[in-house]
Chain A
Amino acid sequence: MSTSSLAPTTATGSGATREITLSQAIREALAEELRRDPTVFVIGEDVAEAGTPFKVLSGLVEEFGKSRIIDSPISEAGITGLGVGAAMTGMRPVVDIMFGDFLGIIMDQVANQAAKVHYMSGGKLKAPMVIRTTLGATRRSAAQHSQSLHAWVSHIPGLKVALPSTPYDAKGLLKSAIRDDNPVVIFEDKMMYTLKGPVPEGDYTIPFGVADVKRVGEDITLVATSSMVQVALAAAEQLQSLGISAEIIDPRTTFPLDKDALITSAIKTSRAIVLDEGYERYGVTAEFAAVISEGAFYHLDAPVKRMGAMDVPVPFSPALEDLTVPTPEKVTELAKTLCGRV
């Protein structure tokens, strides 16, 4: 476990720490890696002059040109497949898949090609590529632009999966992803692009498989990923006022998973809620809950509880959509119950 990345007191970057948005942190990571390694390139729909619909990549094409920031046809499977081939032959592609929902289109290239080529070839070939995509509901984007499908790729041996929850983590995890010799899928929460946080200038990386304690507490563990870290932090504030001290563990990567961090915290607090914006059934929360239940069984005072997205297609109507994701209030209520405070 590392120290909290919300306020990195031991910044390893080469420059001063500033407050920037998660979007800026992503762009900075890409720019630094593009400068460092000439084999890195970005390919995707409207990634160049448009800088993506979220404007995350604005300005990159001006520095690196159209040969490295490549506007592609609307062919997600095609650009992912091209990325696999380019990765197998000496380059480090960063494939931009605008919405995580489009994983359905690229899944053969991800799960059957990129993930397996190293193993199938007896270790002779490799596919060092990054797929950058998004997750998260409550943007009024309805059922095909709002899902959080990282469980799909977390299920596949050969893939690594990263889920930054802060600007600091976003920059460090993306740089690690680009330098990793394995295919990595990194999910960014669309709703967090404007979230600000301290980020060091210059180079630093965050190792995969190392969870981060986002808040230290004593009474209950909240394991939270990506968008749910902010929900957990807000819930922890509410719980604090009730005299309940919540510890927040952010695994940062679902694979490799820092099982020890989850188990250690649950042993310490004796209670755990796992939070993730993927669908609850058969989801990331089930894996986390199983890890804690197996590893901390004799230390638990309550069953490990899961909170994921409601098991429905994400509805458009704001009145309905807001019901489908965990909120600080719901987390607080459940935590109170587990702590015997209701």
Chain B
Amino acid sequence: MTQAGVPQAPHATETSMTRERWLHLYRLMQRIRLFEEEVNELYLSARMPGLAHLYSGEEGVAVGVCGALRQDDYITSTHRGHGHCIAKGARVDLMYAELLGKEAGYCHGKGGSMHIADQETGNLGANAIVGGSAGIATGAAFSSQRLGLDRVAVCFFGDGALGQGLLYEVMNMASLWKLPVIYVCENNLYGEYTHYTETHAGSMSARAAAFDIPVEEVDGQDIRAVNAAAQRAVARARAGDGPTFLLCNTYRYYGHHVGDIQRAYYRSSEEEAHWRRDRDPLKIMAGWLVSEGVATTAELEKIDNEVAEEVRQGVAFALEAPYPDPSEVTEDVYV
């Protein structure tokens, strides 16, 4: 069950990152990508119960933001949460076990894809209620401030969550009380099967600006842009200057969930091909690493192969892992 060859994330407060750190972030992005491709395979081959909402295409956001965090910082995640979970440091074998409902999973199989939580890495949980974790993230920032813990809380949510009132209630309080929280809006253009322009009046960033929350809008496919903005937001939060709203423009490669295969009625295959070909966050990052001389193509391929092997072993582990004992069904309803 070990994850060989995974370096500990170096401290993230430095603004000029080391080569080792860039390669670590590349590895995390590749881990998300390959993890999810295997999730899709598991679903399509009917080996995975339920369904999953894939994050593929958005890796630059999760890794860029979490790359600016410490392990003891908090995140809250969404139904499309595998990327956040991996970016914050979770292991793929235990994640696969959770997705397959196995005892070894992060939540002993009781949470599944939409509820993975990992206290060890500060992940307060994915949430199947759109916008449902906005209060939790803001409350985590509140306790960090009141307990003097110097921790930052990141609330990941999609463009769809901008339709939920709770988000505005807590953004108001976060601004009033200068809470160390970062609201990361991942605009992947679609809320389920509907383009955001059909559901959102006005400007997304103006929503946060109305609360006097600083807004940064970044290209979510460019991890360097995301990470730089996240570092500024983290610095602001730790300095006691309050929340930041990061609007990350990105794209969801797969459908709303793994079963959403016929998508022509809401978006074109040309659009999908364009993003995969021209706007892929892994290609963009790899291109930059090679052109800047940070890494060679051979070094990146080595990482790709290592991650592929890690994923292969993780799936094998999870498929063979036992289900929870029936007695587990009544465990942990109450503390």
Contacts and interface: CB of A to CB of B under 8 A. Distances in A.
A123 B108 contact: yes
B144 interface: yes
Interface of A: 39, 41, 67, 72-73, 75, 77-91, 93, 108-109, 112-113, 117-126, 128, 157-158, 160, 180-182
B172 A73 contact: yes
A76 to B, nearest CB: 8
B266 interface: no
Given A77-B169, A78-B173, A85-B142, A118 B74 contact: no
Interface string B296-335: 0000000000000000000000000000000000011111
Contacts of B105: 122
Given A118-B332, A120-B110, A124-B107, A88 B136 contact: yes
A90 B173 contact: no
Given A91-B143, A108-B129, A78 B124 contact: no
A80 B135 contact: yes
Given A75-B169, A81-B166, A85-B137, A121 B117 contact: yes
Give the one of B117, B127, B142 with max A CB within 10 A. B142
Interface string B70-107: 00001010000000000000000000000000000111
Contact of B107 (A80, A83, A122): A122
Residue among A39, A78, A109, A180 facing the most chain B CB atoms (10 A cut-off):
A78
Contacts of B331: 123
B125 interface: yes
A73 B132 contact: no
Given A75-B172, A78-B172, A120-B117, 7 more contacts: A39-B147, A67-B146, A75-B173, A77-B135, A89-B140, A123-B332, A158-B334
B40 interface: no
Given A80-B135, A84-B135, A85-B137, A118 B107 contact: no
A86 to B, nearest CB: 4
Interface residues of B, number: 45
Nearest to B120: A124
B144 A89 contact: yes
Nearest to A70: B177
B228 interface: no
A93 B141 CA distance: 14
Given A39-B147, A85-B138, A73 B173 contact: yes
A305 B133 CA distance: 43
B165 interface: yes
B24 interface: no
Contacts of A123: 108, 331-332, 335
A78 B169 contact: yes
B233 interface: no
Given A88-B124, A125-B124, A113 B332 contact: no
A125 B138 contact: no
B41 to A, nearest CB: 25
A80 B169 CA distance: 11
B170 interface: yes
Contacts of B255: none
A125 to B, nearest CB: 6
A78 B174 CA distance: 10
A124 B143 contact: no
A188 B134 CA distance: 29
A41 B177 CA distance: 15
